[in-house]
Structure formats: structure tokens, C-alpha cells
Structure 1
Amino acid sequence: MPTLDKPAFDAATFEAHLAEWADLPWLQEIKRSNWEAFEKLPMPSRKDERWRFSGLHRNGFDLAQFRPASAPETEQKEILLERSKLVEKPAGRLVFADNHLIAFDPASQELIDKGVIWMPLSQAFKEHPELVRKYFLEEEQKLGSDKLLALHNAFFQDGAFLYVPKGVEVKDPFIAYYWSSDCEETVLPHTLLVTEDNSKVDFMDYYGSGKEAACCPSLSIATGTIHAGAGSQVFRKIVQNLSPTAQSFQVEANAADRDAQVKTIAVNLGAKYARLENQTRVAGSGADVKMYSLTVATGDQEFDQRTLQTHIGDHATSDLLYKNALMDDARTIFSGMILVEPTGQQTDAYQTNRNLLLSPTAEACSLPGLEIEANDVKCSHGATTGEIDSAQLYYLMARGIPKKTAEQLLVFGFFEEIIEKIDNEELKDNLRNLVQSKFQDIL
């Protein structure tokens, strides 16, 4: 049941929220249309093919349990700011706690002079309305979380906005931290990244839980969008490290124009139930998209992964590799589709899901798929599920390495193919430490 002294997601709460945006009538209109859609849409059901095998309700999800987040206490802000240091010297940093901005490190004056825009999304709405409106919520969502996304769009308060103009290359990564710090509250992270022609940038989102939210349910409904202009290079990292009692929904929608290079890496560690939807439009001729994911599932966690690679432009490529390691009674679901439209001639697309089972009671479901409407393509998909190689384990143990340590080394080796693709050494080491910290009390 929701906490009685805090408002739930109802019509009165929405009207109060909408009044806060009175100076942006165009955004009010978007929010109202999404609230109306939320009220009409049914909750996700396994009868929907897009939710096949999902254990959402088995994991105890009840939307009525959650409420909009309230501002964190000063002491909590200081704790979260101290934890927001995965990259010591980023190009820019935003830190949000319970949907409220608590720190903003702007881009350098050199980048500002080149036209780079880095700021909270709420500020960008007011200072760059025409630019934001051109890209905001332009990508149609097709993977199933319609109702939850409508709630997000109706109630979100803030997020990160990054715009990189034509020909500008940024060496250091931008990073946004989104923290949840209280029980039964809902955080609504929103990231919008736009790159113009022949630009280059790295970006990272981190989703985490504060102390108060570590032992009670919380809800995160996050969305991120990349619009990659012709010839631009975008590398986005996403780390989901919420508490083991959280419920997480993450909806990603990316678009790659002519000759653009878009690479995304998702590191999934937290939440009791976590659903990741990642769809990409390979829209331009010669575009190249790479989608990688690393998931550590322990206890009774469930990670529900849905992907869509839509090829529209010709002579384009995409490559998806999702790796999952499962322990205890954990479950993973991977459902992916490569869709090649008639215009997508000379497409070269791959989709691979690899699952490593470390427990006889863990379960991995894989449903890769192809839908080809062009007649000159090279596409393939595949999935593998297996245990640790006994010969490799024996090799390490025969050299005096204890069994649990040997198992840990083999699992890290399984994930290293993903981690090695990160080009920032500091971030790479910190992500290894996050993965290791989850294993240290298990293996």
C-alpha cells in the first residue's frame, strides 16, 4: 500500500505537477496527453507477446505502492555527492537525487564557446526550446513499456541534455548520476543526447540507490535517447546499480544517421526486477551501431532484456552482444529482433546472447529473431547457455587456485570482452570494481 502521508500517482497529484510548468504550455500539452494515455493503457501482461516470459507480477510489482519522490535531506545529498565520482574529471557532471538536481558541473568555457550545450533538461526547455522540441520524444517506442513510459513522460521533473554541434569532438566523458534515496518513491531519469554532423562525444548515465532505499522497494522509470547526426561518433554507457529491492524500467531509443557510429554499453547489476528496452533505428546509409550489455544476476533477481535493431539505410551495420551470468535462483530473459526494411539493402547485422549459468536453479530464456524485407543482406542471430567450462576450471585449480577464486576469474574473463570495449581506463577499472563487489560475497 502507498504511504498515506505522501501523494500517489492520481489526477489531483498530476494537476499539481502540471501547474509547475505553466510557463511552458507546449510541454504541459505533452504531459497531459501522456497522463491521459497512462490512464487508458492497461498494465503489462504476459498475454502481450512483448512481455512473454516476464515475471513482472511474480516479482511483486504493484504500481499503487509507489508515489512521486520528494526532495532529499541535506545530509543525504552530501553522501550521494561523495559517491558520484566514477570519473574524477568529466567534461561535465549532473547529479540528481529523487528527481531533484543537487549538483551541476558545467562544460568548460572552451566547449561552451564551440557551441556545446550541457545542462539540466528543465533548464534546456527554457533556454533552448526550439532545439529541444525538435528531438524531444520523437522516437516511437515499440517494445512494450507504453504505460510506464506514459507515466514517466507525464511526471518527469528533470534530466540531462547534451548537444554537440557540427565538427566538435569532446575528449572526456559527460556523466549524469540519478539517485533514489527513499522507500516507495519513484525516480524518473531522462537523458537526451543530440550530436550534429561529424562530432564526437562520450556519455554515461549511472542509476543508484541511497542508504534509505537499500532495504525497501523503490521504482525507477528511466529513458534515454540518442540522435546521432551524419558522421558523428557517440559512445554511451549505462550503469544500473539500484538496490536489490528496487523495480527498474529503462527505455532506450536511439537513431543513427548516415555514416554515424553509435556504441552503447549497459552494465546491469541492481534491482529485484529490471527491464531494459533498447531500440535503435539504423536510419542512414553506412551507419554503424554496436549494442553491448553485461548482466550479473544473483539471488532471485530477474533481468528482462528486449531489443530491436531496425535497418532503414543501405550498406549499414549493427552488432549486438548481450552477456549474462546467473547465480542462485536468478532469471534472465532476452528477446531481440533484427528488422530490415526494403530500403536496407547490403545490411550486415548480428545479434548474440550468451548466458553463463553458475547455479542449477538459475534460468535463462533467449528469443532472438529476424524479420528481413530486403533481398541483399547478411544477418544472423544466436544464443548460447552453458555452465563454466570444467576443463578451464580444472586447469586453474590444478595450479593451486581455490575453486571459488577460479570460478570468479572465469566469470570475469567471460565479461572482459564487454568491459574491454570501454575506452576510458579510469571508468573501466571502476566498472570492474562494481562487478567484483557484487561477486565477492557470492563466489
Structure 2
Amino acid sequence: MSTQLTTPTDRGSAETLARGKGEPEWLVALRGEAAELAGTIAWPKPEKVRIERWNLTAVGAYEKPAAASALTELPANVQELVAEGTENLLIQRNSGVVWQQLSDELKNKGVIFTDLETACREHSDLVKPYLFQAVKMDEDKLTALNAALWNGGVFVYVPKNVEVELPLQAIMYNDNASATFAPHILLVADTNSRVTYVDCVVSDKSKVDGEFVHPSIVEVFVKPGALVRYGTVHSLAQGGVDMTLRRAVVENDGRVEWIVGDLNEGHTLSDTKSVMQGQGSTSDVKVISVGTNAQQMSLTTRAVHFGKSSDSNMITRAVMKDTASAIINGITKIEHGATKANGVQTERVLMLSPKARGDANPILLIDEDDVTAGHAASVGQVNPEQVYYLMARGISRQDAERLIIHGFLAPVVSEISVEAVRNQLQRLLERKLEG
């Protein structure tokens, strides 16, 4: 089944598609409104990256995939990303989910882990209060586009005082450039709960040879005393434009930990933001990226402090090769009244080619006196003596660069406490470095 959404601004097509999928009327209306909005508002304008030069209209057509009866039916490069022995797994192929499972133990505790389309039909009382609340659909054309188009997706709900010990894992992959691929992830961790969620967003690069856009939004709500660990690694094909916004709203004494691996082969807009609403709320963000060929990348991390004694830490490390370029922004905003807040950020860029480019822009915006904040940033080329030293010992230039990259990223990778994320990151990093 294939249903063409002619343009992101066509209200009628968006509503027809939503009704064809059996979505509730409140969601049909939301999609129609978003489709109209997409035709009236502008794309986001990241610093020093002209995304309007990218092909942002290749959103494709909705294509419902057939459900998989066994994991062995999936591509080998998808199967290898499945954590060994996992009982909690969701897999999306192009426009829809083809596999999902959740352990009986978690079901009995009231945990919900399903695709967002199903959640909107079966758990609308839990979805409606949160969907497009951390990220408003009228912020820009990207958010409106996702609201009109999103498909499949993930919904996670963890009840009060429930601890999910093993990670919930999602794999979202595309193997057809002409199919709409626009997941939306919504995660709600209720009071004093604990959960680790990890996902991989990948292309079957042997089959994806055209241009496509991946407009994706993540919304995370951390209730008082809750802890959310969110790990994600993206490895989309060269013809893809990955545009992903992530946002967490953290209440009193809540904590969110982001681990982001941007290992795409195409252009990338990645924006990860934590809003510390509550007193004692905390956020920790680690971002790793490798750019190759003529990639253009905009990598932004943000921390906004409203709560007293809130704390944020942001670390970004990026490696640029060939003629790749990256603009890396770290923005810490401490609002008036957020006394005793602390915000720290570090951005480091390593360039392995004289034609590569990396800009690190640490920004502190402080509207309160009784706070602490700091930043560190560095941009530099690899020391040619290091490459010569390794090559003089019989190591090829390619392997020498690989060792240098691993050494540069190791301080961040080694701090990743979630084994599933660390393994996925290392596997996909090797795949990118091998070309």
C-alpha cells in the first residue's frame, strides 16, 4: 500500500492519510492543522549552515510495510544491532513498525512500550497531554512537517516508582528512499521511575541510493525524582538529510542523560535540548560525531535552567575528514530565579584534512547572579607527526587515522555507562570509518 502525500502543506492529503490509517479524530485534526502550518512558516535557521540549499522536500510517500514474523527476515545489518537476549524491542521499517515485543514482567508493572500510532488509538489519555508539548508543532517548518507526516514512532510510559532494569530498544531503518521515514518518539517517565531507552536510526545502504529527508522529533518528560537514560545512534545513507530535534522537560530532582552518536553519511541537523524546570533537576549530554566527504553538519546542544540548584553538563566531540564541515553550538541559558544553578559545557573538534572545517561556539546566557557556569572549546588539525609516527611503524594512513579518531573519542565513549549504546556506537563508528 502506498499513499502519496503530495506536499507537506496539503491539509486534505494529510487528513485523508490519517483517516486511512484509522487514527482518532483529534490526531486527524492535528495533522491537518500542521500541514497548513508547514506552508506558512520557515525552516529553522541554524548558525552558519544554509540548510535551504539541502533537498528538504524529498519526504516521499507513506508505505505501510508488512509485519515481520521473525527477526531473521530483517536485513543482516539490522539484526546485528539487536542487543543479545533483549525482551523489549521495537523495529520500524520505513513508514511503519514491523516488530515489537515487551516482557510480561514489564507489562504487569504497567509499562507501555509500543509504536506511537497504536498508542494514539489505545492510550490517548496518556499521549494527548504530552504530544507536541515539549516541541511545539508551530515552532518552524520542520516541527510542522513532522506533525503532519510522522509515522510509526515510539511511545514509552513508565508508571510511578517503577524501575525498568534492562534497556528498551528500538531500531528504525529505511531501505527505500521514496518511502516517508519520519518517526516521532514520546517518552514519559512518571514520578520516581527509572528507564533506559536506546535506539538506532540506520539505512540499508545497499538499497537506499536516492535522496530522502528524515524529519524526526523526540520528546522526553521526566517527572519528579525520575531518571531517564536516552541513547541514540544515527547512521543514515549519503543521500539522506537527517533533521532531528530532541527535547527533555525535567521536573524537581529529575535527571536526563543523553548519549547521541551522529554518524550519518549525509547532511545533518541535530539539536538536543534539556529544559530544567524543577528544583534540583539535572541533565548530562554526550555527543559524538564523525563527518566525511562533503557532509555539512549542524550540531547543537542546549541547556535551559529554570529550577533552583539545577545542573547541566554538555560534552561534544567531533571529527571532520575530507571536505566535511561542522558547526557545533553549545548553549547554556540560566534564567532569572534559577539560583545556585550550574552549567558546564565542552566542545572539541579534530580535523584530519586541511579542507575540513569545524567551528565550536560555546555560548553562556546568564540572567541570574548566584550561579556557576563555564565552558571550554578547541578546534585543531591532527598533528602530522602522530600520523608519521604510526605510518613509520608499518601502519597504513587509513588505519593511523582510525586509531587517532578512536583515541580522540575514547574519553567520551568510555564514560557511556549503557553497554547497548556503547556497542552500537562502536559498531556503527567502525562501519563509517571503513566507508
> Normalised by the size of structure 2, how large is the TM-score?
0.91
Q: Any unmatched runs of 5+ in structure 2?
A: none
Mapped to 1, the partners of 2:425 and 2:333 lie a distance apart of 32
Partner of 1:125: 120
Partner of 1:182: 176
Partner of 1:67: 60
Deviation at 1:72, TM superposition (A): 4.1
Contact 2:343 2:372 in 1 (8 A): yes
Q: Which amino acid aligns with 2:266?
A: K
Deviation at 1:317, TM superposition (A): 0.7
- Secondary structure of the residue that 1:244 maps to in structure 2? coil
Contact 1:77 1:102 in 2 (8 A): no
Residues 84/422 of structure 1: CA separation in 2 closer, same or farther (3 Å cut): farther
Residues 340/141 of structure 1: CA separation in 2 closer, same or farther (3 Å cut): farther
Contact 1:186 1:221 in 2 (8 A): no
Residues 14-54 of structure 1: CA distance to partner in whole angstroms, max 9, x if unpaired?
2321323666222222222212211211345xxxxx42311
Partner of 1:359: 353
Partner of 1:92: 88
Contact 1:197 1:230 in 2 (8 A): yes
Q: Any unmatched runs of 5+ in structure 1?
A: 45-49
Partner of 1:47: none
Residue 165 in structure 1 maps to residue 159 in structure 2:
yes
Mapped to 2, the partners of 1:348 and 1:127 lie a distance apart of 41
Deviation at 1:369, TM superposition (A): 1.1
Mapped to 2, the partners of 1:422 and 1:19 lie a distance apart of 42
Contact 2:60 2:177 in 1 (8 A): no
Partner of 2:326: 332
Deviation at 1:307, TM superposition (A): 2.8
- Secondary structure of the residue that 1:57 maps to in structure 2? helix
Q: Which amino acid aligns with 1:363?
A: R
Mapped to 2, the partners of 1:397 and 1:141 lie a distance apart of 52
- Secondary structure of the residue that 2:298 maps to in structure 1? strand
Mapped to 1, the partners of 2:92 and 2:23 lie a distance apart of 23
Q: Which amino acid aligns with 1:113?
A: N
Residues 184-230 of structure 1: CA distance to partner in whole angstroms, max 9, x if unpaired?
33311111111112211111121111256532111111111111111
Contact 1:309 1:337 in 2 (8 A): yes
Residues 171-195 of structure 1: CA distance to partner in whole angstroms, max 9, x if unpaired?
2111111122213333111111111
Deviation at 1:162, TM superposition (A): 0.9
Deviation at 1:91, TM superposition (A): 4.3
Paired residues, number: 429
Contact 2:160 2:192 in 1 (8 A): yes
Residues 266/280 of structure 1: CA separation in 2 closer, same or farther (3 Å cut): same
Mapped to 2, the partners of 1:25 and 1:110 lie a distance apart of 33
Deviation at 1:312, TM superposition (A): 0.5
Contact 1:21 1:27 in 2 (8 A): no
- Secondary structure of the residue that 1:149 maps to in structure 2? helix
Residues 121-170 of structure 1: CA distance to partner in whole angstroms, max 9, x if unpaired?
1221222211111211111459x971021011012232111111122111
Mapped to 2, the partners of 1:370 and 1:403 lie a distance apart of 39
CA RMSD across the alignment: 2.6
> Normalised by the size of structure 1, how large is the TM-score?
0.89
Q: Which amino acid aligns with 2:63?
A: S
Mapped to 2, the partners of 1:176 and 1:193 lie a distance apart of 12
Partner of 1:193: 187
Contact 2:275 2:306 in 1 (8 A): yes
Mapped to 1, the partners of 2:49 and 2:129 lie a distance apart of 34
Q: Which amino acid aligns with 2:64?
A: A
Mapped to 1, the partners of 2:281 and 2:422 lie a distance apart of 26
Contact 1:346 1:377 in 2 (8 A): yes
Partner of 1:26: 26
Residue 374 in structure 1 maps to residue 372 in structure 2:
no
Mapped to 2, the partners of 1:74 and 1:386 lie a distance apart of 48
Mapped to 2, the partners of 1:319 and 1:176 lie a distance apart of 26
Residue 237 in structure 1 maps to residue 219 in structure 2:
no
Deviation at 1:234, TM superposition (A): 1.1
Mapped to 2, the partners of 1:315 and 1:370 lie a distance apart of 17
Residues 81/101 of structure 1: CA separation in 2 closer, same or farther (3 Å cut): farther
Q: Which amino acid aligns with 2:174?
A: S
Partner of 1:227: 221
- Secondary structure of the residue that 2:63 maps to in structure 1? coil
Residues 418/382 of structure 1: CA separation in 2 closer, same or farther (3 Å cut): same
